[in-house]
């Protein structure tokens, strides 16, 4: 306390860091901090989430092009490229690597034990081998758990409420995602409890998505749940178009799916989650140790229903689901 005025130590560090980075003399002596963004998916579909990420950075005084640089590395679902691109970011001496989704986080962890890593994951980061503890991650990693795989059984429950006569329900997964095995097991358990048969189909590229829908039609599946996956999110336009063509009721893990024409979504508010990732990244840039930052567990979930998509397949939404929805897209 100085003359009756108190200042939180963290606020002081943020202000001091921002002031130093903004000083012309400091800029002349050293480069601005560099963030390496490594993603399992592709740039264009993720632009709104990157914008949310940079808004979190701005909240803590870091602005790209002014006192911050960002190098983007996207693999468009080609996960075998992640290891090489992670090493590329290490060679560039990135101050922080932001790894979008577990495959990218694993590649970054394998590439460096010293550069801080802030990751996003939809599944349990301990089970995935990213950290040893949620409260004290240790080593050079921390991040945000979007909790999307934990919501798989809840999405099945909502789907059954939406289409109660559906006896054979599909589950679309990406076999390249390391969380797939666990989510498949959880969803199969949930389907049995609901008295439904679960048909699992896999797709890791555009062609396989079409083949998966063909298989669902051949097996007379009458409702589908799409599991959380960065690549499948990037293909949301394709998924919505094919579901509409097959007149298949589909539930998705992201509001972005419903906004792209999908029927219904239940899951994390991704924009808020990526803003939190930006804030965490800023805290690391200021000097906080990632191993001391608890892995953030997202607790905000939302239900979005696209009424136009429902009308297109002549599906009546039950009143209790309409009441439950956080947003109806007309």
Give the mean model confidence (pLDDT) for residues 33-51: 94
pLDDT classification of 5: cutoffs 50, 70, 90? very low
Beta-bridge partner residues of 34: 69
Q: Is the pLDDT of residue 8 over 50?
A: no
pLDDT classification of 106: cutoffs 50, 70, 90? very high
Which value, to the nearest 10 degrees, does the dihedral of the CA atoms of residues 209, 212, 217, 223 take? -80
Q: Convert the pLDDT of each residue in 185-241 to its tens digit.
A: 889 999 999 999 999 999 999 999 999 999 999 999 999 999 988 899 999 999 999
What tokens were used for 31? 């480069």
Show the beta-strand stretches assigned E in 196-277.
Answer: 197-202, 223-226, 250-252, 264-268
What is the DSSP code string of 140-178? TEEEEE--TGGGHHHHHHHHHHHSTT--EEEEEE-TTST
**CA angle, 107 then 108 then 112, to 5°:** 120
Of the chain, the percentage scoring pLDDT greater than 70 comes to: 91
Contact 41, 233 (CB under 8 A): yes
| CATH class of domain segment(s) 9-147+269-300 | alpha beta
What tokens were used for 239? 């998924």
Same fold, 9-147+269-300 and 149-268+302-329: yes
Radius of gyration of the chain (CA): 21
pLDDT of residue 12: 41
Q: Say how far apart CA 145 and CA 128 lie, in whole Å.
A: 12
Give the mean model confidence (pLDDT) for residues 20-24: 42
Q: Say how far apart CA 129 and CA 116 lie, in whole Å.
A: 16
Beta-bridge partner residues of 327: 304
Work out whether strand 301-306 and strand 264-268 pair parallel, antiparallel, or are unpaired.
antiparallel
Q: Is the pLDDT of residue 91 over 80?
A: yes
What angle do the packed helices 270-286 and 9-22 form, to 10 degrees? 80
The terminus-to-terminus CA distance of the chain in angstroms comes to 54
pLDDT classification of 309: cutoffs 50, 70, 90? very high
What angle do the packed helices 102-111 and 82-91 form, to 10 degrees? 50
Give the mean model confidence (pLDDT) for residues 100-121: 95
Instruction: Output the 3-class SS for 215-235.
Output: HHHHCCCCEEEECCCHHHHHC
pLDDT of residue 36: 98
CATH number listed for the domain at residues 149-268+302-329: 3.40.50.2300
Contact 234, 248 (CB under 8 A): no
**CA angle, 220 then 224 then 226, to 5°:** 140
Dmax over CA atoms of the chain, in Å, equals: 76
Q: Is the pLDDT of residue 28 over 50?
A: no
Locus of tokens 């007149």? 247
Q: Convert the pLDDT of each residue in 168-192 to its tens digit.
A: 999 999 998 887 888 888 899 999 9
Nearest CA-CA partner of 255 in 75, 37, 48: 48
Higher pLDDT, 142 or 13: 142
For the chain, the domains span 9-147+269-300, 149-268+302-329
The model's pTM: 0.81
Helix, strand, or coil (residue 138) = coil
């Amino acid at each position: 306390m100085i003359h009756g005025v108190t200042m939180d130590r963290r606020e002081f560090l943020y202000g001091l860091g921002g002031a130093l980075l903004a000083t012309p003399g400091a800029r002349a002596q050293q480069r601005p901090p560099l963030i390496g963004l490594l993603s399992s998916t592709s740039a264009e579909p993720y632009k709104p989430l990157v914008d949310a990420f940079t808004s979190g950075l701005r909240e803590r005084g870091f602005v790209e092009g002014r006192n911050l640089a960002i190098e983007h590395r996207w693999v468009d679902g080609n996960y075998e490229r992640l290891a090489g691109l992670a090493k590329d970011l290490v060679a560039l001496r990135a101050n922080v690597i932001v790894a979008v989704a577990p495959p990218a986080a694993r590649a970054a962890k394998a590439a460096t034990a010293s550069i801080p890593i802030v990751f996003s994951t939809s599944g349990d980061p301990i089970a995935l081998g990213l950290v040893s503890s949620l409260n004290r991650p240790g080593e050079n990693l921390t991040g945000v758990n979007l909790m999307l795989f934990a919501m798989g059984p809840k999405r099945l429950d909502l789907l059954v409420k939406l289409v109660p006569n559906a006896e054979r329900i599909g589950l679309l997964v990406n076999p390249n995602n390391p969380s797939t095995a666990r989510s498949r097991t959880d969803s199969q358990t949930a389907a049995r409890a609901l008295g439904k048969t679960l048909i699992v189909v896999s797709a890791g590229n555009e062609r396989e998505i079409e083949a998966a829908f063909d298989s669902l039609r051949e097996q007379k599946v009458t409702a589908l749940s799409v599991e959380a996956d960065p690549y499948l999110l990037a293909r949301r336009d394709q998924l919505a178009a094919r579901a509409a063509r097959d007149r298949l009721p589909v539930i998705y893990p992201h509001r972005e799916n419903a906004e792209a024409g999908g029927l219904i979504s239940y899951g994390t508010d991704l924009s808020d989650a990526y803003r939190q990732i930006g804030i965490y990244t800023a805290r690391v840039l200021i000097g906080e140790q990632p191993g001391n930052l608890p892995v953030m567990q997202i607790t905000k979930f939302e239900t979005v229903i696209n009424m136009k998509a429902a009308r297109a397949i002549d599906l009546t939404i039950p009143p209790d689901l309409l009441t439950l929805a956080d947003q109806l897209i007309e």
